[in-house]
Amino acid sequence: LPPVAAQYRTRIVRGGAEQIVEWRFWRAPDRLVSENLTARTAEEWQREGATLFLKRAFHEDRRGIEYQMDDLRIAGELPQWTRQALLLDPQVLAALTLRRGLLEGNTRHRRYVGEFGGSRWDVTLHIEQRLPVRIERRRDGIIERTELVALHALAAAPWQPTPTDTYPFIDYADLGDMESDPFVQKVH
């Protein structure tokens, strides 16, 4: 998958109320970072061979939690690397119907629509960069729409992830021993 940096805007409409989340995504061959600009949090996935590691950073607190592969398995959060790297579950895409190919300038897109998991999906993908341009999901009166705002080659990205190298990271396995820690209480 091409190394990229992208910015997205997600709108969730529920019962007339709208929530907007701005976020960025950086994809390198063995590292994926997504940063929620609205909540000031980040996730960093690292791949070393077949082993995955996850760091969740909380910028307001300047702290984080680190997960090993076994921790992710126990917590039921062990995803496929491909799903994380594409920002879309390949099973969803496989269940949808190719509606048409689109050409915007020199950029080729494909649009897929259909039902999966009780939701109505409308997905447009950037073919060369293998990223969603737009994902719309409708279910039970809730509309969630994610749209690409900016896309750059990783080496030419105008922004970088917020540095976390000075943050203390708590090992997930140690959270149970730290129940009285205000940060641990907050993130639980």
Which tens digits make up the pLDDT trace of 45-64?
999 888 888 899 999 999 99
Which tens digits make up the pLDDT trace of 165-188?
999 898 887 776 777 777 877 776
DSSP letter string, 146-165: EEEEEEEEGGG-S--PPP-T
pTM of the complete model: 0.88
- pLDDT at 21 > cutoff 90: yes
Residue 23 neighbours by CB under 8 Å, 6+ apart = 7, 8, 9, 10, 34, 35, 36, 37, 38
- pLDDT at 65 > cutoff 80: yes
Mean pLDDT across the stretch 25-38? 96
pLDDT for res 77: 67
- pLDDT at 86 > cutoff 80: yes
